[in-house]
Amino acid sequence: MAKPIIRAFKSALLLVPLQVTSLFLEWVQKIIRLNRFLFYQFEYLLHGQQWTKCWV
């Protein structure tokens, strides 16, 4: 009776890091997207100024 419970527990232990990793990757992608968006807005506002060119 204990074997299926242990098996389920092991599979749950394997699934949790995968879920955490996928959530973390989504979070990182959102941050990167936001940073890129903010950077483009910033570049658009300061277009033609000299020190924005060193960012690119």
* pLDDT, tens digit, 9 for 90 and up, residues 28-55: 999 999 988 888 888 777 775 655 555 5
Residue 4 CA to residue 7 CA, distance in Å, equals 5
pLDDT given at position 44: 76
pLDDT given at position 54: 54
Closest CA to 11 of 24, 28, 19: 19
Average pLDDT estimate for 6-22: 89
Spell out the long-range contacts of 7-12 with Cβ–Cβ below 8 A and sequence spacing 24 or more: none
Q: What's the predicted TM-score (pTM) here?
A: 0.50
**What does the mean pLDDT of the chain come to?**
82
Q: How confident is the model at residue 22 (pLDDT cuts 50, 70, 90)?
A: very high
pLDDT given at position 25: 94
**Helix, strand or coil for residue 1?**
coil
Alpha helices in the chain (DSSP H): 2-45, 50-53
Residue with tokens 């658009």: 44
